[in-house]
């Protein structure tokens, strides 16, 4: 992505999830855990579900050559057809928020999911993440009431987007 007067130069690199969090993203992981200590996404996934061999991916977004955000997708277990990807482990460093890197990361994840022949994407977020919720709604995500078992105050909300439109 081209840099402008108010926008950083953004590019993406695919990583193995565990490798990235054990090396490159140690500082970002610590920041995320401090900011969201009880968030379910702070627990590493139980297997290689974010790997290309399993129709998954994990990307790191760099802004001005520094890791600024990360996130991935996997096959959504709630769709037996295998046509839905679940975007997971999205985090934007506090210093990079508002720069466009979060939006660029979500767009890149959606494009990669389309390339993996997914037709829809879903994502879950805490109801105490109003900035993330606003971004996802701007990007065309719509709430799916009744999907998250722990919906409600302090719970998680589920959003979805059709990738075929």
pLDDT tens, residue by residue, 36-68 = 666 555 566 666 777 888 899 999 999 988 899
Return phi, psi of residue 87, to 5°: -80, 130
Indicate if the pLDDT at residue 152 is higher than 60.
no
Q: Is residue 35 part of a domain?
A: yes
Better-predicted residue by pLDDT, 43 or 32: 32
Q: Is residue 2 part of a domain?
A: no
**Sheet order of strands, 120-126 included:** 10-14, 57-63, 66-75, 84-92, 120-126, 156-162, 142-143
| CATH number of the CATH domain containing 97 | 3.40.630.30
Q: Is residue 3 part of a domain?
A: no
pLDDT tens, residue by residue, 121-147 = 999 887 778 888 899 999 999 988 765
What would the mean pLDDT of 75-92 be, rounded to a whole number? 92
Domain count of the fold of the chain: 1
Range of the domain at 127: 10-162
What number of H helices and E strands is found in the chain?
4, 7
């Amino acid at each position: 992505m081209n840099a402008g007067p108010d926008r950083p130069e953004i590019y993406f690199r695919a990583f193995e999830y565990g490798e990235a969090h054990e090396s490159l993203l140690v500082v970002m992981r610590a920041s995320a855990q401090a900011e969201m200590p009880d968030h379910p996404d702070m627990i590493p996934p139980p297997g290689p579900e974010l790997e290309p061999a399993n129709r998954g991916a994990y990307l790191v977004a760099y802004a001005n050559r520094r890791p600024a955000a990360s996130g991935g997708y996997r096959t959504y277990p709630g769709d037996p057809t295998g046509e839905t990807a679940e975007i997971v482990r999205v985090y934007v460093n506090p210093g990079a928020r508002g720069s466009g890197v979060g939006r660029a990361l979500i767009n890149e994840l959606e494009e990669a999911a389309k390339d993996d022949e997914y037709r829809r994407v879903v994502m879950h977020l805490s109801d105490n993440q109003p900035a993330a919720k606003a971004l996802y709604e701007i990007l065309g995500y719509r709430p799916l009431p009744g999907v998250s078992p722990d919906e409600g105050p302090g719970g998680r909300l589920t959003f979805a987007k059709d990738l075929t439109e």
